[in-house]
Structure 1
Amino acid sequence: MSRKIYVFDTTLRDGEQVPGAKLNKRQKLEIAQQLAKLGVDIIEAGFPCSSPGDLEAVKAVSEQVKGPIITGLARAVNQDIDMVWEAVQHAERPRIHIFLGSSDVHLSKKLRQDRESALSMAVDAVRYAKRFCEDVEYSTEDASRTDFEYLCRIVDAVIRAGATVVNIPDTVGYAVPEEFGDLIRRLKENVQALDKIVLSVHCHNDLGLAVSNSMAAIRNGANQVECTINGMGERAGNASLEEIVMLLRTRHASYGAHTDIRTEEIYRTSRLVSRLMNIPVQPNKAIVGSNAFAHSSGIHQDGILKDRTTYEIMKPEDVGVRQNKIVLTARSGRAALRHRLNDLGYTLESDQFERVYNRFLNVADRKKEIAGQDLRSIVEIELTKVTETYSFHSLQIMSGNTMVPMASVTLTREGKQHTDAAAGNGPVNAVFACIDRIVGQQGILTDYDLKAVTMGKDALGEAMVRVEIGDVVYSGIGTSPDVIEASARAYLNAYNRFFANSH
């Protein structure tokens, strides 16, 4: 009989801890509604004690998103637990999630506590949470580096205190599959009470083993897996939801387990998270990368044309990827564009469509054909935009290998144009300096990436930047057939996110 694996999605909490990926309340709510449509069992909507904004966002998700269990994270202190309950109490199915370090390195270096006091703290926290909520999850932070006998004592004690879910995290991605699977098996053998509650795992990807460790845990008896869309998360990220789900579906005979995820919503969810967090998905990312179902080898193409199963173990449509070769040009009207957007899975409001249409025309005037990847990039960047304090108008560049690069940039604010000029050590640097001068801020560029969205000399360029403004990192993305313009739009996008966050 197939065993159900509960999918605990922490994109809105652990996934959001990526620098530059901060979401506002509206964005969190939009992602949470899509996660519910995807069919996740639990949504960890945030860390309410981290900020008033996160508290309000978790409240909004709890009140408006129906279906999944809604939870928030709390340290093992009463004040945190109070705030989580304040945030999730109106959820259709609320849960309080508590964590506390359990490894000796966490106890001695971070918490400055001994094992017995930490154990007492854990039990007291679970008992306190049970006053408010029947469903309480407890996480033994850094479990994979915790003394096994002590870990057993903690797990047994918090279950006796009322925990309904116990989570075993590989917090720093230290485990390897054989060891981690064995840890789960030994825990189930030594703590009999685990048979009465949900045993969860939460794996990080520091050594690239988050999914492998999660699957080893499932094979050895874990029945909840904590993961994120696109593997987003702290440092190298978390276990990827889409990879775990499709592993269980594609290799069902090997694992004898399933999820209730609606897999046809995977790609749409991936793109939404990428767009709202302004974090591109790497092309070779399993399941959702742009190359995941692409074939360039002549031998592969020949096999695919004869039978797709020769080189594909999953159908693209099973994860919501639509294969379509329709190409748009500047002569394509609104009807053709809307039809193509529908084919790609986008349903836009009228104002959103007009923004996309205007940007489409702007790009199509300079690029012969607009392929699917071009259009996806245009749509996702236009929909990512927060309310624009400044909008891009134009730029001019003077550059060469024997002169100091100069740039002039014009931005629009409240209908009024603002122009400034600056020199730089390159044309992109000069453009960024112009934007700094116009907006009256001094941004520090911490990351810059430029790639071609499609192939060919007239390929659409996509620029991604991360800019530190006032001790906070903001990300931005921009596209254009002109890579300097794409860079300018990305840098301005980051500033507009800063201004939106400041209001």
Structure 2
Amino acid sequence: MPSHRYRDVYSRVDIPLATRDWPTARLTQAPLWVPVDLRDGNQALAEPMDPARKRRFFELMVAMGYKEIEVGYPSASQTDFDFVRLLAETDLAPSDVTIVVFTPARRDLIERTVESVRGIRNPVVIHMYTATAPVWRDVVLGQDRAGLTALILAGGRDVLRSAGDLDNVRFEFSPEVFTLTEPDFALEICDAMTGLWDATPDRPVILNLPATVEIATPNVYADQIEYMHRNLARRDGVILSVHPHNDRGTGVACAELAVLAGAQRVEGCLFGNGERTGNVDLVTLALNLHAQGVDPMIDFSDIDEIRRTVAHCNGIDIHARHPYAGDLVHTAFSGTHQDAIRKGLAEHRARAAAEGRAEADTEWRVPYLPIDPSDIGRSYDAVIRVNSQSGKGGIAYLLETAYGIELPRRLQIDLARHVQRRTEQTGREVTAADVWRIFAETYLQSTGPGPVELVNVDVAGRRTTITLRADGVETHCQRDDVGPVEALVAALAERDVAVEILSLHQTSVGTGSATEALTLIEYRDGARSRWAAGRHRSVLTATLDAVLSAAGRAEGGAS
């Protein structure tokens, strides 16, 4: 790899920060969230949203509780301009939602942007940007530092001239490519803009410091943000905002460290859509807070509806492994994971009952699941799925959740062997119904008559009489002071069918009035133990059927 062609960030940006506070800071509350899906996300789509998709996306974000939404780049497209006018002329935007519009520092485009928001009743932010990094100054803009400062201030004056008299309008400035801009120059320009726009606590200016292209480890971005946080003039009149991109795959970490370093506001996209590798993912950021006990102030209780809407509007599917929201992120295939999750869920239910709390109000501490899937509208149905990598815990979990069957540990191990044999043969995942079929084929007595058929059981006082039929001949066996199971075992022994029962377990199949008894018998077959089962509405009949199943399998050498 020709790595010598690239320069590290330290040779390009020298951050004059001798000490730093962010490493010991803690995230204790949510920042101000600003989804930019309708502008930054939209301009990154191969097929930008039409008005219907834009409206649907906007309505989703309002329903989720976002109070500040960047809705478009009205000077760049008629569709964006018309959408802003729709918000101005209808009640689509609740009165407490701030509308943000985006413009470069050019007079005609600023005037077009202000025209789009004129008459709007909502609070409005006019967001002006200009690239400030050396390469952009040299290659794109053809300006030195002094020339670029003059250009930016001229744009700021145009914003004031066009919208300074509007009481519901505030201003935002982004030094684009902040992360590659000399810190002293970024500070100089930002202070000039807050001075020009008269930033005060009553009418604060938003200074947005974007990692337009992610170029360093997250600690570097945190240092850059803390440097600005400490040194900005009129700090109490500034809302310090960040806008991380994800070129290095660490956009979420950059945003979290930036908030630790003093940022109060985060711009990003739902599920991280955006140019190149995308903007920072607001869903992951918010749910990371939720998983640490901090209210994200946004409603993710129906993550699947959010995901469907975003995927439809963007025309981009959400990856199955996307944090929190992907189809498979709460799913365990590994046997050890499944066993731990199953035990954790059982312990959670028991602890909730012991504490007299609802499960939803009980502290969550289930292995491998950082949050309760039900918090975001997911059921437990997909938490454990079974393939060739799975173990006894997952298989037992499927039977328990789908059929109410609780298997003893040794039977879980035995059943897992049979299920794994099937999955390795097919290479496919198995469902709960598949596992039940394998269980029935392996342990339940066949529907046809076996070598020995139970004709009747008669209990009269202390005496139990067993009637068996084999090869068309009925025989009777009587035993005193024993139960039906022991009497049946004795009757089978008289027919030279030996069944040595090691343990007997009772469970059930189904719930409510449709429940059937399921008896599980561990019996000795030569030097090893095996399992058989019986199923019936009657517990006694289920148990006797299990004994006959064991007898037939022992005689036939079933594996």
TM-score range, shorter chain: 0.5 to 0.7
Deviations 1:419-470 (A, max 9, x none): xxxxxxxxxxxxxxxxxxxxxxxxxxxxxxxxxxxxxxxxxxxxxxxxxxxx
The secondary structure found in structure 2 opposite 1:208 is coil
Partner of 2:375: 318
Aligned counterpart in structure 1 of residue 126 of structure 2, from 96, 101, 105: 96
Matches within 5 A, 1:163-174: 164-174=205-215
Alpha-carbon deviation of 1:6? 0.4
| Separation in 1, partners of 2:216, 2:194 | 24
Identity %: 26
| Separation in 2, partners of 1:119, 1:46 | 26
* Number of residue equivalences: 322
Partner of 1:87: 116
Partner of 2:178: 143
TM-score (norm. length: structure 1): 0.61
Q: Which has the larger radius of gyration?
A: 2
1:236 is aligned to 2:271: no
Contact kept, 8 Å, 2:245 with 2:279, in 1: the verdict is yes
Alpha-carbon deviation of 1:263? 2.5
The secondary structure found in structure 1 opposite 2:38 is coil
| Separation in 2, partners of 1:125, 1:321 | 48
The secondary structure found in structure 1 opposite 2:208 is strand
- AA of the residue aligned to 1:20: A
The secondary structure found in structure 1 opposite 2:210 is strand
Matches within 5 A, 1:149-298: 149-162=184-197, 164-252=205-293, 259-298=296-335
Partner of 1:481: none
| Separation in 2, partners of 1:303, 1:200 | 41
Structure 2, gaps ≥5 residues long: 1-26, 200-204, 346-365, 383-430, 432-559
Matches within 5 A, 1:122-137: 122-131=152-161, 132=163, 133=166, 134-137=169-172
Alpha-carbon deviation of 1:294? 1.1
| Separation in 1, partners of 2:184, 2:154 | 20
Contact kept, 8 Å, 2:30 with 2:289, in 1: the verdict is no
| Separation in 2, partners of 1:284, 1:184 | 31
Cα distance 1:251–1:94, how it changes in 2: closer, same or farther (>3 A)? Answer: same
Aligned counterpart in structure 1 of residue 148 of structure 2, from 118, 135, 144: 118
Alpha-carbon deviation of 1:4? 4.3
Cα distance 1:219–1:83, how it changes in 2: closer, same or farther (>3 A)? Answer: same
The secondary structure found in structure 1 opposite 2:266 is strand
TM-score (norm. length: structure 2): 0.55
Cα distance 1:154–1:265, how it changes in 2: closer, same or farther (>3 A)? Answer: farther
Cα distance 1:84–1:175, how it changes in 2: closer, same or farther (>3 A)? Answer: farther
Contact kept, 8 Å, 1:49 with 1:84, in 2: the verdict is yes
Alpha-carbon deviation of 1:91? 4.5
Alpha-carbon deviation of 1:324? 4.7
Deviations 1:249-300 (A, max 9, x none): 2235xxxx75421232444222201112210111111111111111111221
- AA of the residue aligned to 2:370: I
Backbone CA RMSD of aligned residues = 2.0
Cα distance 1:56–1:323, how it changes in 2: closer, same or farther (>3 A)? Answer: farther
| Separation in 1, partners of 2:108, 2:380 | 51
Contact kept, 8 Å, 2:97 with 2:123, in 1: the verdict is yes
Alpha-carbon deviation of 1:145? 0.2
| Separation in 2, partners of 1:167, 1:267 | 31
Contact kept, 8 Å, 1:24 with 1:57, in 2: the verdict is no
- When structure 1 is superposed on structure 2, of 227-236 and 107-116 the one drifting more is 107-116
| Separation in 2, partners of 1:12, 1:315 | 30
1:28 is aligned to 2:54: yes
| Separation in 2, partners of 1:100, 1:231 | 23
| Separation in 1, partners of 2:160, 2:377 | 40
| Separation in 2, partners of 1:127, 1:41 | 28
Cα distance 1:115–1:263, how it changes in 2: closer, same or farther (>3 A)? Answer: same
Cα distance 1:242–1:267, how it changes in 2: closer, same or farther (>3 A)? Answer: farther
Cα distance 1:267–1:158, how it changes in 2: closer, same or farther (>3 A)? Answer: farther
Cα distance 1:106–1:276, how it changes in 2: closer, same or farther (>3 A)? Answer: same
Cα distance 1:3–1:37, how it changes in 2: closer, same or farther (>3 A)? Answer: same
Aligned counterpart in structure 1 of residue 43 of structure 2, from 5, 17, 30: 17
